[in-house]
Amino acid sequence: MIGSVTFFDDPLQRIRTGQFARVPILLGNMEDDGTVLTYNTSDLAAYLAGQFRSIVGSESVPPADMVRALYPGSSDPQVIAGTLRDILSRWCVHILV
C-alpha cells in the first residue's frame, strides 16, 4: 500500500485466480467511441498494417477490402474508428473470460 492506494502485482493474474471483488460491472460502447482516437486517420491499409503487424505479423494483416466489407456503407475513417472501437471494447472482454 502506498498512501491510501493499494497496488497488486498482476491484476489479470488476480482475475484468473479469482482473487477479486465479485461485484456487478457494466461494459459497453457507444456507436462513435473510437472516433476521437482515430481523428485525422484516413488510410485504412496503413492503419491496419500499423495496428495489426505487431499482433499477427506482417504476412497476416487483413486486407483493407476484407475489413471494409465488415462495415458496409462506411467511409474509411468510419471503418478505422469502428475497428478500434470493436477491438478495444471486445478484446478486453475476451481476455478476461
Q: What is the pLDDT of residues 39-75, one digit of tens each?
A: 888 999 898 888 777 666 666 677 889 889 999 999 9
In the predicted model, what is the mean pLDDT of residues 27-31? 68
For 38, 47, 74, 96, the CA distances from 53, given in Å and listed in that order, are 18, 10, 23, 23
Whole-number pLDDT of residue 77: 92
Mean pLDDT of all residues belonging to the chain: 78
Asked if residue 24 has pLDDT above 80, the reply is yes
Any long-range contacts for 50-56 (C-beta under 8 Å, 24+ apart)?
Answer: 51/83, 51/84, 51/87
Asked if residue 84 has pLDDT above 60, the reply is yes
Cβ pair 90, 96 in contact under 8 A: no
- SS3 state at 5: strand
Percentages (nearest 5) of helix, strand, coil residues in the chain: 55, 0, 45
